[in-house]
Amino acid sequence: MSSRSIPPSDLPIEDVLPELRQTLRDRPEAVLQAPTGAGKTTRVPLALLNETWLSGDKIIMLEPRRLAARAAARRMAHTLGERAGQTIGYRVRMDTKVSSKTRVEVVTEGVLTRMVQDDPSLDGVGCVIFDEFHERNLQADLGLALALETQDVFRPDLRLLVMSATLDTGPIAELLDAPLIESKGRSYPVDIHYADETPDDYIEPHVTSKIVDVLREESGDVLVFLPGAGEIRRVESSLKDRGLPSDVDVHPLFGNLPTKQQDAAIEPSPDDRRKVVLSTDIAETSLTIEGIRVVVDSGRVRTPRFDPQSGMTRLDTVKVSNASADQRAGRAGRLSPGVCYRLWTKHTHQHLKDHTPPEIVDADLAPLALELAMWGVSDPAELRWLDPPPAAAYEQARDLLRRLDALDRDGAITDHGREMAALGLHPRLAHMLVNGQVLGHAAIACDLAALLSERDIFRGQGQAPDVDLRLRLEALRRLRTGGRPTPNHARNYVVPYGAAEHVRSIADHWRRTTGTSLDRHGDIEACGLLTAFAYPDRIAEHRDGSNGRFRLRNGRAAALPSPQLLSDADYLVAAHVDGRRRESRVFLAAPISHDDLTDYFSDHMETDVHVAWDAEARRVRAREQTRLGAIILKDGPVENPDPETLARAVLDGVREHGLDLLKWTKNARQLQERIIFLHHHLGDEWPDVRDEALMQSLDEWLLPHVYGMRRASDLNGLHVTQLLNDQLSWDQRNELDDVAPTHITVPSGSNRPIDYSDPDAPVLAVRLQEMFGQTSTPRIAGGRVPITVHLLSPAQRPVQITQDLKNFWDETYHEVAKDMRGRYPKHYWPEDPYSATPTNRVRPQT
């Protein structure tokens, strides 16, 4: 990678050509860096490309915005004493000025993508210029990746030139393996002023006050940078309320303004007037607005952020980067010394990001994925990128394209996908437009494509306007019949004529593109179905018991901003949703019928039998459900569900309620405790039948016995004792009474039960007198475990607990007997327990 410097761009072209020619002979690629604010836009590129010019090949120059493309072409044509469309022309959406004489075409990046897709060799094109590349929008990155592929595969002689005043040139020069050419240019000094404090999010009052101060204290025209059209309109209204001087004109400037209004903002003011241009970042680069001497910068920019988790794109208002701030300030020094007022502190400025993150990092990648599929690439790694597309967002984009039938199961583009790509629309809207033609709703689809690709034509009055897209279609229909869209004060919105006219012109463009005739009587009620083609993932159903709240197909909650026409709709399609909240807010939507969903989205539906335990009813419910994602479209009972599924649902009931759902008898619990005792002392040769173990092994011991059951009451017929016995082998059943007897015969002749509730210490509770003569402690488990003997008083209370009877008789009995004679004098308390007659009576029979 080498670096060359060229003289300031206001020198005659012939003075800079020799070195530039040598540069181009050395390398066909170049990265051009010009100082912020330099007037380099036309003369340096034309000089640099002289070799291409002389060869007769065409030069394609990319600009990131339509307004900038038109302005650059007109300015270059003006330097040749011509009008745009002769030697210098341009191609942007809905506006083309080229002819057979055109040698330089200024295009937006989407136009380049179409050119490369239609002719991968770019036959007749000698050079492609990527201007203002620091903006790093998605189409620019894609266009460069495709151009590099064209150069590698078809056209080694194709020249590529990347230009920017603030781009971090190292990585791009390395990607291109290209020399870095620096134009020193000529710029004028700009005085920078910072605010004493950085305003909060509500910036309009601060901007308005600064504009008023600037008009009073400074000369020349004023360029004001604001985040978006909403802030521009509010500042414009505030300025009118403040009463500006009579010689001051205010011009908004943003992307979807009609061309005439955009041109009015760019054109120089008459000598006796001043202007204030309220602009988005559209005026940050590429444009030279005549007469601008003062810049007021809010320091904010609105940028789209795609959320792969929600599948939605939201617009976030963020702080500008350092590079963007420099670009904005440079607007004041294009033609003369100027001044820039930054509405943030110097301390805040020190913490700004150096550069604006590339759009590819946060963008919806569905358009890129469709273009790559059209190019024959499934893995972006096959191409060279300055920043590769994020893997998760790219895979989600491909999933969406499959849902739109643009890709087949293997990820290859379909014929339908090719039709979509040819339109140059976002894949969602292209899918809708193609399907609209097939179903005879092409005219409505064209209107919807225009409405959904631009800002909302309804402007709220104090609150958000009604979300219903049908109202907007009706407004466009009134516009075509010669009327003007009228405000609807009852629903708190107005319809600015300029915005509606702009959308109408775009709709007419899509009619011409698709060969659709104007249909003034199209069925507006088809709006919901068509919108669902574009946003199948945002179909939503009304949530029971709530007003204006819905469940989206992906399971997320969504809500209308206020009670309105669609609040009680059974189903709707949310075209514009804010994905940042737990309950997304719906801004644009249309109703769709149950019949349309089942007729046109059956391929996306899943029908299954849902068999589950109903804890409240304590029974199994079996229902057949047809679902579209999280939306249940059909739900009804099933008479004869699969026996296996039914039985497993019963087990789910046992898991939920516990083993007490079974009918446990005293004998069953005693048997369980005896087996637990043996497992505890003799090991795994005896089964583990503790409640926890039984719950974990329900499939093994209980499942075979619950077939045909549906209710908790059905389980009462099970004999738990038998189920436990079934877990023992034949030998274990025969051995059980020997190693873990239920009762033991004591010296009195009585059979007394053994309590196995504590497997460590089984208990024999027996009256003391019944054990006279027993010298050894009883043992079980094949003699391994002594029984803990609870010797009871006549009142059945323990007077001694022991596992050593002999020791008791020898050491403790006489004290216990002495105490018992005082309490129970009628009972038998002999002096010698060894020779005494055991008895279960008060006294032994004589």
Both tokens assigned to 108: 């937006």
Through-space distance between the first and last CA atoms of the chain, rounded to whole angstroms? 122
Give the separation between CA 50 and CA 21, rounded to whole angstroms: 8
What Å distances lie between residue 183 and 40, 284, 285, 558, 627, CA to CA?
8, 19, 16, 52, 62
Q: Please, what is the angle between helix 229-242 and helix 204-217, to 10°?
A: 50
Residue 261 — very low, low, confident or very high, per pLDDT cuts 50/70/90? Answer: confident
Give the separation between CA 320 and CA 348, rounded to whole angstroms: 11
Both tokens assigned to 322: 């350092």
Using alpha carbons, select from 558, 561, 582 the residue that is nearest to residue 571: 558
Cβ proximity of 472 and 457 under 8 Å: yes
- Interval 222-254: pLDDT, tens: 999 998 888 898 999 899 888 888 899 999 988
- Interval 51-108: pLDDT, tens: 555 566 899 999 888 888 888 888 888 888 999 999 999 998 878 999 999 999 999 8
Residue 845 — very low, low, confident or very high, per pLDDT cuts 50/70/90? Answer: confident
Q: Which residue has the tokens 């994602």?
A: 629
Q: What is the pLDDT of residue 836?
A: 94
Q: What is the pLDDT of residue 50?
A: 54
Give the separation between CA 387 and CA 383, rounded to whole angstroms: 11
CATH architecture of 3-183: 3-Layer(aba) Sandwich (3.40)
pLDDT at 6 over 60: no
Cβ proximity of 565 and 540 under 8 Å: no
The alpha helices in 381-481, defined as continuous H runs, are 391-403, 415-423, 427-439, 442-453, 469-480
Average pLDDT of span 424-438:
94
Domain boundaries, the chain: 3-183, 190-360, 425-604, 605-668+680-712, 741-823
pLDDT at 179 over 90: no
Using alpha carbons, select from 366, 359, 370, 371 the residue that is nearest to residue 116: 371
What is the 3-state secondary structure of 172-183? HHHHHCCCEEEE
Percent of the chain predicted with pLDDT > 70: 90
Residues 6+ apart with CB under 8 A from 354: 168, 321, 322, 323
CA angle in degrees (0–180, nearest 5) for 285-288-294: 90
Which carries the bigger pLDDT value, residue 14 or residue 103? 103
Q: What is the pLDDT of residue 47?
A: 44
What Å distances lie between residue 284 and 64, 100, 334, 702, 809, CA to CA?
11, 33, 12, 74, 105
Average pLDDT of the chain, as a whole number: 86
Q: Is-same-fold flag (3-183; 190-360)?
A: yes
Cβ proximity of 650 and 710 under 8 Å: yes
pTM: 0.72
Average pLDDT of span 731-738:
95
pLDDT at 1 over 60: no
pLDDT at 13 over 50: no
pLDDT at 286 over 80: no
- Interval 775-804: pLDDT, tens: 999 999 999 999 999 999 999 999 999 999
Q: What is the pLDDT of residue 4?
A: 41
Using alpha carbons, select from 477, 472, 482, 478 the residue that is nearest to residue 443: 477
Q: What is the pLDDT of residue 24?
A: 45
CATH code of the region 190-360: 3.40.50.300
